[in-house]
Chains A and B, each alone.
Chain A
């Protein structure tokens, strides 16, 4: 067979052998065909679902479309990082809800990682009391549903703290009551935006300095006091600008007027309860992730580092943690996503997050499909962005074998 085929092909090299094969027997073409067919089916299904939905909505005379985003919302929102009033649109109300979700998730994630890492390390401490306390923390907080924890913290705040008229006043300009923590903030002044600029410049300078210090240490072996210089830069640079800007000291101090405090800034009990609940709950999981990561680094590494004479803090920071990170990051990502998604429980304790605002919007406009779709898009986007960032970071920390 082989011998006969060979000369035939040599005789007629221009004639492609595929021409004799019908297209439905050609695996390549067949694959394309199947893909087109599948695509068509999915397209048809989507068309059917959408048109069917629209017909049903029409039949039930329920309004459709996203035109409602332009309409006046006419409801107030308890707290908002951007100016918002009932005269604004549903669109802006939803943006407020989104920002509230973003704020609580971001702050929550940062603190959770720090707290979780500390507890995870404490769990492995050779000190009996420290490791037992960490273990107890993890077991207790992991096993209580997060919604109950939220209810607990919220009830704790409004039951234990006094009313605004009897507010606790630990320092001048700081008031703690069941309306939240109210504290003085500096009066708006033109120099403030230069302070932010100075902080940004300090950040860039620190980054460059660290690079330079690392290269220098690699070249000459001389260490550089990176931490001390960084702290000095972060504090010193803005301070200098502030002094040159005339050192404005005017403060916007909260005063009790009527029932509540006016002026200053306010951290509400809802926000605090939500943040605290999410952090304490998720940190228990993060602690376990960190512990697993550290234990995945073989004992030989620690022993080798110790035999070099490194202090135990250096062993942790230079040898164990960098290797543990590879194991820690993927499950850590999923804990970060969990925290973001759990923040939607805010509805239960009155923090105006995205789900809460979108829920009210759905109820006032009756447009459940659009509202639910918006919720899904928002959480999907947040989750995908977090994952994308963490994947990038994961690649960066992956062990580069040399």
Chain B
């Protein structure tokens, strides 16, 4: 909360005093600094949270690292700023961070009135409900009168109000800003259900004392395309973020992994040659090294590898690919050609 106030006030001061907020030139700024500053969740297992050794892990973290690799060829050239749902946009608007990879839903309102631009979606999500098994609830439609734990400043807050309104049900929101505090209140029984994006619910359940006591209800009540965001108006920077994410998706589609990428350099396929920078062009167009895609795949991996490593079925989250499978496998992940 303090951070929120600070960054809100900081933004206000910045907007009031600076002759003109730096709009273009994020790439130059980043190059001069030698690292990128990424806003991440900080408390969300599988997406953005430091592990027990203090190393940042997660799908969003890897997305930020991919951008750092594209620019510096160094997955550690990132400084992570943990942000709450409320502080995240202000931090980006005020220039405290260069890119926001914090499971943010792209919406029209945020894309326009907030002065942001969203890039390629890195996770297709939807909002659901987590309830204790002993409550005996089988469907979200049975939640009339429930106390609902929810994070403030999220699309979640609006979706759940819409869902209860459109079904003629009543709810009592319990709005706590800190993800960990909110989860504590929910596990202690302050609320009947916790609502959030399904991926977050899986992450929250994974850290419960006894994950088997909780179920995620079948209803998904919203579309939540989670995408990295940048400030509006810096097209080159947006392109870089965009194609860093797309490179991982394209690599999976082309069958390139972190393990076979060196072998793939010798491939005769012109698509792969262009993609890995063997045939020059893509890098220069973005203002990056010709090998940027190769570097990302080599150091971070393709989208499938990143997904399985952080949130896939073999992790405590155990999330199926579902909508996040490649388009060729019935999912939504689709990259435009790299040429």
- Let me know if A203 is at the binding interface, CB within 8 A: no
Residues of B within 8 A of A368 (CB): 8, 11-12, 90, 93
Residues of A within 8 A of B177 (CB): 347-348, 359
- Let me know if A311 is at the binding interface, CB within 8 A: no
Is the CB–CB distance between A60 and B115 below 8 Å?
yes
Is the CB–CB distance between B188 and A159 below 8 Å?
yes
Residues of B within 8 A of A57 (CB): 15
With A76-B161, A363-B85, A364-B109: A348-B8 Cβ-Cβ less than 8 Å:
no
- Let me know if A8 is at the binding interface, CB within 8 A: no
Question: Bound complex: CA of A233 vs CA of B177, how far in Å?
Answer: 48
- Let me know if B269 is at the binding interface, CB within 8 A: no
- Let me know if B20 is at the binding interface, CB within 8 A: yes
- Let me know if A163 is at the binding interface, CB within 8 A: yes
Mask: chain A, 338-366; 1 = CB below 8 Å from B; 0 = not: 00000001011110100110011011111
Residues of A within 8 A of B93 (CB): 60, 62, 366, 368
Residues of A within 8 A of B178 (CB): 348
- Let me know if A306 is at the binding interface, CB within 8 A: no
Q: Which listed residue (B16, B112, B162) contacts A74, Cβ 8 A? A: B162
Residues of B within 8 A of A259 (CB): 135, 143, 145-147, 192
Is the CB–CB distance between B188 and A348 below 8 Å?
no
With A63-B113, A258-B146, A260-B146: A360-B152 Cβ-Cβ less than 8 Å:
yes
Is the CB–CB distance between B8 and A352 below 8 Å?
no
Question: Bound complex: CA of A133 vs CA of B110, how far in Å?
Answer: 55
Is the CB–CB distance between A363 and B152 below 8 Å?
yes
- Let me know if B323 is at the binding interface, CB within 8 A: no
Would you list which residues of chain B between 134 and 186 have a CB under 8 Å from chain A?
Answer: 135, 143-147, 152-154, 157-158, 160-162, 164-165, 171-178, 181, 184-185
Is the CB–CB distance between B175 and A78 below 8 Å?
yes
Is the CB–CB distance between A366 and B173 below 8 Å?
no
Residues of B within 8 A of A372 (CB): 8-9, 12
Question: Bound complex: CA of A258 vs CA of B142, how far in Å?
Answer: 9
Is the CB–CB distance between B175 and A356 below 8 Å?
yes
Q: Which residue of A lies closest to B152 (CB)?
A: A360
Q: Which listed residue (B23, B86, B135, B176) contacts A363, Cβ 8 A? A: B86
Question: Bound complex: CA of A141 vs CA of B181, how far in Å?
Answer: 23
Is the CB–CB distance between B152 and A356 below 8 Å?
yes
Mask: chain A, 238-281; 1 = CB below 8 Å from B; 0 = not: 00000000000000000001111010000001100000000000
- Let me know if A371 is at the binding interface, CB within 8 A: yes
Question: Bound complex: CA of A276 vs CA of B306, how far in Å?
Answer: 47
Residues of A within 8 A of B20 (CB): 55-56, 59
Q: Which listed residue (B158, B162, B231) contacts A60, Cβ 8 A? A: B231
Residues of A within 8 A of B286 (CB): none
Q: Which listed residue (B4, B162, B176) contacts A350, Cβ 8 A? A: B176
Q: Which residue of A lies closest to B131 (CB)?
A: A259
- Let me know if A53 is at the binding interface, CB within 8 A: yes
Would you list which residues of chain A between 214 and 241 have a CB under 8 Å from chain B?
Answer: none
The residue in B114, B158, B165 that gathers the most chain A C-beta atoms within 10 A of its C-beta is B114
Would you list which residues of chain A between 58 and 78 have a CB under 8 Å from chain B?
Answer: 59-63, 74-78
Is the CB–CB distance between B15 and A363 below 8 Å?
no
- Let me know if B328 is at the binding interface, CB within 8 A: no
Is the CB–CB distance between A352 and B233 below 8 Å?
no
Shortest distance in angstroms between B166's beta carbon and chain A's nearest beta carbon?
A: 10
- Let me know if B129 is at the binding interface, CB within 8 A: no
Is the CB–CB distance between B18 and A56 below 8 Å?
yes
Residues of B within 8 A of A335 (CB): none
- Let me know if A369 is at the binding interface, CB within 8 A: yes
- Let me know if B271 is at the binding interface, CB within 8 A: no
Is the CB–CB distance between B190 and A269 below 8 Å?
yes
Is the CB–CB distance between A366 and B188 below 8 Å?
no
- Let me know if A178 is at the binding interface, CB within 8 A: yes
Question: Bound complex: CA of A61 vs CA of B172, how far in Å?
Answer: 35
- Let me know if B80 is at the binding interface, CB within 8 A: no
Mask: chain A, 147-181; 1 = CB below 8 Å from B; 0 = not: 00001001100110001000000000000001100
Can you list 26 A-B pairs with a CB-CB distance of less than 8 A?
A59-B23, A61-B113, A62-B113, A62-B114, A63-B113, A75-B158, A75-B173, A76-B157, A76-B161, A76-B164, A86-B162, A87-B165, A155-B184, A158-B188, A163-B189, A179-B147, A345-B1, A348-B176, A348-B177, A356-B152, A362-B8, A363-B154, A364-B109, A364-B157, A369-B12, A372-B12
Additional pairs, 7, CB under 8 Å, beyond known A359-B1, A372-B12: A57-B15, A76-B171, A78-B175, A85-B165, A363-B85, A367-B113, A372-B9
Question: Can you list the 10 inter-chain pairs with the closest CB atoms, starting with the nearest?
Answer: A363-B153, A366-B114, A86-B161, A60-B115, A62-B115, A350-B176, A63-B113, A158-B190, A158-B188, A258-B145
A residues whose Cβ falls under 8 Å from a Cβ of B: 49, 52-53, 55-57, 59-63, 74-79, 85-87, 151, 154-155, 158-159, 163, 178-179, 257-260, 262, 269-270, 345, 347-350, 352, 355-356, 359-360, 362-369, 371-372
